[in-house]
Amino acid sequence: MAYEQAKSSVQHSHSLNLENRSRLNLTGVEDVSGFDESLIVLSTALGELTVRGEQLHIERIDLDSGQLDVRGKILELSYDEPAPKGSLWSRLFG
């Protein structure tokens, strides 16, 4: 089995800990799609998570273990469901 396949088959559990709306600790982070001081978009084991706020800073990121720490003023946390896999036909008739 190739390294990329082995890495993608391991799914971390996902947890979120928010302290005083200023410290956010996440596990189960698979990728960070983009970030700036007001928005962080990342993929987790349970779907895409968008963090909105002010003066957001990624303090620590370790994608091998799936951990991410964010500091700043957290205003909103929003999950999007992952897109269904497979072709249109398999989703309709599968």
- Which residues are CB-contacts of 30 (< 8 A; sequence separation ≥ 6)? 12, 42, 43, 44, 45, 63, 66
pLDDT for residue 11 is more than 60: no
Whether the predicted pLDDT of 1 surpasses 50? no
The pair of structure tokens assigned to 71 is: 């500091």
Q: Is the pLDDT of residue 7 over 50?
A: no
Contacts of 20 (CB under 8 A, 6+ apart): none
Q: What backbone torsions phi and psi does residue 88 show, to the nearest 5 degrees?
A: -60, -40
pTM of the predicted protein model = 0.74
CB-based contact 61:55 (threshold 8 Å): no
Tokens describing residue 82? 């992952």
pLDDT, tens only, 15-66: 999 999 999 999 999 999 999 999 999 999 888 999 999 999 999 999 999 9
